[in-house]
Amino acid sequence: MFTYQSEWNFSESPESIIVGLFDKSIKFEGKLAELDDVFQGELTNLIKSGDLSAKKNKVRIIHTFGRIAAKRLVFVGLGKEKDLTFDDIREAFGATFKQIAQERWTETSLFVDSFVTEEVEVQDVAHAFGEAFALATYEFTGYKQKSNVPEKKITELTVFSNVEEEIVLSALQVGHIYGKATNSARTLVNLPGNMLTATDLASYALELANKYNFETEILEKEDMLKLGMGAMLAVNQGSTEPPKMIVLKYQGKENWEDVIGLVGKGITFDTGGYSLKPKTGIVGMKTDMGGAAAVLGAMEIIGELRPEQNVVAVIPSTDNMVNGNAFKPDDVITSMSGKTIEVLNTDAEGRLVLADALTYAKHHGANYLVDIATLTGGVITALGMETTGAMANDEALFEQVLEASYEAGEQMWRLPIFESHKKLVRNSPVADLNNSPGTAGHAIMGGAFIGEFAEGTPWVHLDIAGTSTTNKASSLGQSGATGVMTRTLALFVERFEADKQ
């Protein structure tokens, strides 16, 4: 897929080459000045006339008419050099690949050094290129009949740089791993509920385990009964599909200690149960396993990169359906932790399955917990569709997750959990907790409930109800599932030991 050359030789370059264009003086410098000389100053004239623009994400394809070996030059606008960030470069590459996809090319190349600044190093550019290539070219076509016309896609990418080959290719490959794993999470979320049951999700996890040599455990309904997972089983009561508690363990240290627990909500379809969703709200509930998808995507990255860190991934998976056996408002259930729960809303089921999953992650030795879930519509009301809501009981752990989210380009905002919020979820005349104190502060109530099961373990909660899908395409993906937090979780694990010190 990726090949490296130390110098861009105009007489030997591949079919097309991507070049960065900064908004600065019209005069080209270095290799680009040599290129402009070959074109007898015509590139400078194109900038003067406005036919070539350095405006961010502006992509322009120029035919070379045999003046150099490459048939086309792809100029990418980057804005002002001093303002350029890693996210900007990734976006620019995404826009570039979107444009190239329309041209149906099978190969292209990149002049890496034309994107480098004092703040953005060569390895950053290479990582962004590899990641954007995977993200921007992702397609989920679903189950439509396929055309007989073969699709043309880019399969060969060459990079030119005067930096050491190993540094550049390593960064490219790592970026591509991050992008591909995000796409894996996207595909899981895009699958319809009848094509992705809890059993299917468990099978997918086992495939990952076999590929990356993870230790696995899949709890069946009988196992959950023995362990007293009453919260998980209550949600599954109305379903004909068996529940699965999926566990993947990666040991990156000699001893099983200092363990990060990643817990992802895996509700494969959510009707709301007897607190039934309206007809407009029930469409799209195949995506209610976005947290599980993010955790599995992160485990794919962990399996590829093998960080020196211990991780246990726990995914409680079932659908939430309605029949004569389904759990009801006013029911009282007993969680694995022993805490009793009064059910006031069967559509607040995600926090119930997560309650038993967090307890089980601690059973497997998790010293730190991060749960991720499409949990509440309230987080959309509070933060919109582009910001993940976060809550935590530990400042240091939250800062590490936040830093990873910045680097991944996946924005989040912290919401509070005060004692007054805890009192509301502990307010029940018949049980230790209630699962839905009301609509006021809805997202906070969900987080506060889950926090009761983290107890004294450092914990961060991520509510991706708004960010797990999008109804509009971007330079880095089509509409539909985003795979959000896959990269954040993986970066958090990868940098955990260093950031902790």
Cα–Cα distance measured from residue 150 to residue 412, given in angstroms and rounded to the nearest whole number: 41
Say if residues 460 and 398 touch (Cβ distance below 8 Å). yes
Say if residues 415 and 391 touch (Cβ distance below 8 Å). yes
What would the mean pLDDT of 67-76 be, rounded to a whole number?
Answer: 93
DSSP 179-213: HHHHHHHHHHHHS-TTTS-HHHHHHHHHHHHHHHT
- What spatial distance separates the first Cα and last Cα of the chain, rounded to whole Å? 37
pLDDT band at 223 (very low <50, low <70, confident <90, very high): very high
> Residue 210: is it exposed, middle or buried by C-beta count within 10 angstroms (0-12/13-18/19+)?
exposed
What's the maximum distance between 2 C-alpha atoms anywhere in the chain? 84
What would the mean pLDDT of 298-315 be, rounded to a whole number?
Answer: 98
pLDDT band at 13 (very low <50, low <70, confident <90, very high): low
Q: Mind listing the pLDDT tens digit for each residue in 16-52? A: 999 999 987 667 888 999 999 999 999 999 988 888 9
User: What does the angle CA 78 – CA 79 – CA 85 come to, to the nearest 5 degrees?
Assistant: 70
Name the helix (H) or strand (E) containing 499.
helix 486-500
Lowest mean pLDDT among 66-70, 272-276, 385-389, 454-458: 66-70
- The residue with tokens 């991050």 is 178
Among 53, 60, 63, 124, CA closest to 88: 124
Cα–Cα distance measured from residue 340 to residue 5, given in angstroms and rounded to the nearest whole number: 63
Q: Residue 9 above 90 pLDDT?
A: no
Lowest mean pLDDT among 16-25, 255-264, 378-387: 16-25
pLDDT band at 85 (very low <50, low <70, confident <90, very high): very high
- The residue with tokens 């309650």 is 355
The region, left, alpha or beta by phi > 0 then psi within -120 to 50, assigned to residue 424 is alpha
DSSP 330-385: T-EEE-TTS-EEE-S-TT--HHHHHHHHHHHHHHTTEEEEEEEE---THHHHHH-S
Average pLDDT of the chain to the nearest whole number: 95
Q: How far is CA 454 from the centre of its chain?
A: 23
Cα–Cα distance measured from residue 40 to residue 246, given in angstroms and rounded to the nearest whole number: 63
For position 12, what pLDDT does the model report? 75
For residue 317, report the phi and psi dihedrals to the nearest 5 degrees.
-130, 130
The tokens of 93 are what? 């590459």
Q: Mind listing the pLDDT tens digit for each residue in 153-176? A: 888 889 999 899 999 999 999 999
Say if residues 118 and 61 touch (Cβ distance below 8 Å). no
The packing angle between helices 165-190 and 486-500, to 10°, is 130
The tokens of 72 are what? 């086309």
For position 27, what pLDDT does the model report? 73
* Helix ranges restricted to H, 283-330: 290-305
- The residue with tokens 């990169």 is 305
CA atoms in the 13 A half-sphere facing the CB of 335:
27
Q: Residue 488 above 80 pLDDT?
A: yes
- The DSSP letter of residue 113 is G
* Range 285-322 burial, b when 16+ CB lie within 10 A, else e: bbbbbbbbbbbbbbbbbbbbbebebbbbbbbbbbbbbb
Beta bridge partners of 325: none
Quickly count: other Cβ atoms within 10 Å of residue 134's Cβ: 20
Q: Helix, strand or coil for residue 292? A: helix
What would the mean pLDDT of 343-365 be, rounded to a whole number?
Answer: 98
Say if residues 94 and 18 touch (Cβ distance below 8 Å). no
For position 501, what pLDDT does the model report? 64
Say if residues 411 and 387 touch (Cβ distance below 8 Å). yes
What would the mean pLDDT of 338-354 be, rounded to a whole number?
Answer: 98
For position 482, what pLDDT does the model report? 98
Catalytic residues: 277, 351
The tokens of 364 are what? 């497997």
Cα–Cα distance measured from residue 280 to residue 214, given in angstroms and rounded to the nearest whole number: 40
Q: How far is CA 112 from the centre of its chain?
A: 26
Q: What is the CA radius of gyration of the chain?
A: 25
Name the helix (H) or strand (E) containing 55.
none
Q: How far is CA 171 from CA 98, 128, 159, 487, in A?
A: 22, 8, 12, 15
For position 214, what pLDDT does the model report? 98
pLDDT band at 401 (very low <50, low <70, confident <90, very high): very high
Domains of the chain: 2-179 (3.40.220.10), 215-472 (3.40.630.10)
Percent of the chain with pLDDT over 90: 86
pLDDT band at 148 (very low <50, low <70, confident <90, very high): low
Q: Residue 412 above 70 pLDDT?
A: yes
For residue 17, report the phi and psi dihedrals to the nearest 5 degrees.
-140, 140
For position 486, what pLDDT does the model report? 98
Pairing of strands 332-334, 259-264: unpaired
For position 25, what pLDDT does the model report? 62
